[in-house]
Amino acid sequence: MTVKMTVSVPDDVAEFLRDSGNASAAVTEAVRPLLADARRARQRAAAQAMAEWQRSRPAADVENDTALIEASNDAALAGAEW
């Protein structure tokens, strides 16, 4: 799927895109590496937030969840071959 967009860019960038022959491809090539970095940053932030939340939980809550987590893992791995 593609989306048509209009953006404002500095003169030198506009000149580069005009000269590239395919502005869409040039922009895509430039932005795609940034997408991977942004995704990793979001995942890292989510993991850090989850770890902080886990550290703040009372021990009794963690202990109560252990059986549920183990049962869930067993169900998810049922029939799986390693």
Domain count, the chain: 1
Residues 6+ apart with CB under 8 A from 70: none
For 51, the domain range is: 11-76
Is residue 59 situated within a structural domain? yes
Is residue 2 situated within a structural domain? no
Comparing CA positions, the residue from 27, 37, 33 lying closest to residue 5 is 27
pLDDT, greater one: 2 or 78: 2
Comparing CA positions, the residue from 2, 48, 45 lying closest to residue 27 is 2
Euclidean distance between CA atoms 77 and 45, whole angstroms: 28
Q: What does the pLDDT look like over 20-66, one tens digit per residue?
A: 999 999 999 999 999 999 999 999 999 999 999 888 988 888 888 88
Q: Is the pLDDT of residue 70 over 90?
A: no
Q: Residue 80 — very low, low, confident or very high, per pLDDT cuts 50/70/90?
A: confident
Is residue 60 situated within a structural domain? yes
Q: Which two tokens stand for residue 60?
A: 């009794």
pTM over 0.75? The answer is: no
Averaged pLDDT for residues 70-82? 77
Is residue 6 situated within a structural domain? no
Is residue 3 situated within a structural domain? no
